Structure 1
């Protein structure tokens, strides 16, 4: 062997070659043996493990579903009421019903047959879960319509609701007084309405065409007393563009009046619910096209369904059938006064009267 090769051999024997295999330590041999036995690789203490996306995606989906559900509750509360038995009568008697934003598809479900009392005048009635007074009349969202911008439409809707409140809920009018506040909202330039009002509140007996009950709720103080200060209501306003750009508002409202015979304040006094549903169409006319006055409207049409209010001919007042509430003539048509799924006037008999299937 040449001297140079011999010297390199001796030097590498002492220092070690760069590519020479390294004998593992006893500790390393022990770890390798355990891995071969258990399988896999050890996890270092600084190792980063990415988050699992399956569970996080599930939370995203759950949150999205919840958000959509909240939007639906806000936009379409009547759907949610229906899912949980709203108008179908599935809710408990003490649960208030959601506001009515569109015509229901069916009548409310049957209630437990309980007679009304002075302390609970709405007992055994769907009206027990209705709102009180003006709160039961729903006003829709506003948008520019016809000749009005959104602010003017909002004012027209507010005035339309004021008319329904003044005509059907004013305490003085209910006790027979002239409906001055409601009349003030009617255009003085509508001749046929002026003639109707003049005849309705004259001393002459009213006719079918001049009966004030077509628009206003009234009881004779010497015949009937209202039970308490609460009248239950349910209904809504809708609107669209009418003739000559007018904003035409339709009010469809049911009023439930609990009454007892006048002067009978005994604990066992009979309580009857007179139930009235009115549909009134009001036109808020463009003053540049129709002669009118500010904050007044024209009447397009008005119709009424009434039960437990008298059928013996118009008197100008509701006449509750005290002592005869359970008598139902077989020849009269039947009307569920709480069924708001049908148009007004579809269940009256030949004489304009109908017997309530419940009150």
Structure 2
């Protein structure tokens, strides 16, 4: 290599040859990497992106509103249903079982006429349980002379008595309440006398009316619509006299009926509503003369509407076609669905005190 070529080589080594590739800088390599990893328009080196706002406060508000809504549903379910357009009809959610004394009457329902297809339409009973399922039985614990298992059996038989007396289809047709009578202490003289008189007399008095304990309709006057009777109520118990287990039943029965001779699709449907309070004593056989599996009656009372306002006949006598013509006595109006008030006004073994009062709804 000549001296001229060697000097030219040294100069190009220091200054770089024209057109030779140039290695990118560190910043250029970083930009290129970000462009490959991110889609869309790249941010400039001095572009500012504000931080997203925190949303925790919004979630706190949503949680608080939800909690308040659930509390309102728990405390005032009927009113909440009304706020959202619920009609309280047969499509409404069933009510929870009654576990304590109600504090107020059920909320107002739309004024809808009952039909053969929907006999409880327009009634609070549309959301009640069917038959025996509507009678709440509390947990059993040892009381008086009975252990827990015996108390459980006494509660079950107490409910059986209510079912046999107020729901049995044969009894509702006017037949003798044989199964219910079998649960009554045959040695209780006053009750046995009541049964003989009440179930044999053609002209019972207010004290010997079989309706005090048993639900009955004359087949030639009225017939039940379908096979469902709505009920709501509960049993309670405590230690009674001489260590007995005293069971108190407070139950409302709703009977949809139609005229016996009217079988058309547009037949009139009305409801007879009976509320009974029966106090039963499951006595210690070591202290009271009784028979196994039977109980003594302490008291019994009845409130009813649309069951008849004339002299007692021993049967419910619902009014058909005349309810709208009957005068309204505002001084004696009752809400048959209001279970917050005590039943009756007598000594517990007399006829209903409001059987001829005007019902505010049926």
TM-score by length of 2: 0.75
Which of 324, 345, 351 aligns to 2:322? It is: 324
Question: Does structure 1 residue 354 correspond to structure 2 residue 347?
Answer: no
Distance (whole Å) between structure 2 residues aligned to residue 87 and residue 250 of structure 1: 30
Which of 213, 216, 220 aligns to 2:214? It is: 216
Distance (whole Å) between structure 1 residues aligned to residue 352 and residue 255 of structure 2: 22
Q: Cα offset for 1:345?
A: 1.4
Q: Deviations for 1:277-320, whole angstroms, at most 9, x for unmatched residues? A: 00000000000000000000000000000000001010000000
Q: Deviations for 1:36-88, whole angstroms, at most 9, x for unmatched residues? A: xxxxxxxxxxxxxxxxxxx9xxxxxx9xxxxxx9xxx9xxxxx9864252478
> How many residue pairs are counted as aligned between the two chains?
287
Which of 262, 265, 268 aligns to 1:264? It is: 262
SS at 1:221 equivalent: coil
Q: Cα offset for 1:353?
A: 2.5
Structure 1 ranges of 4+ moved more than 3 A: 79-82, 86-92, 346-352
Match in the other structure for 1:312? 310
TM-score by length of 1: 0.75
Taking only aligned residues, the RMSD between alpha carbons, in angstroms, comes to 2.5
Distance (whole Å) between structure 2 residues aligned to residue 150 and residue 108 of structure 1: 34
Which of 234, 237, 240 aligns to 1:239? It is: 237
Contact kept, 8 Å, 1:88 with 1:107, in 2: the verdict is no
Consecutive unaligned residues of structure 1, counting only runs of 5 or more, are: 1-54, 56-61, 63-68, 74-78
Match in the other structure for 2:341? 342
Match in the other structure for 1:204? 202
Q: 1:317 to 1:232 in 2, by over 3 A?
A: same
Match in the other structure for 1:157? 155
SS at 1:164 equivalent: helix
Which of 55, 75, 81 aligns to 1:83? It is: 75
SS at 2:190 equivalent: helix
Consecutive unaligned residues of structure 2, counting only runs of 5 or more, are: 1-55, 57-62
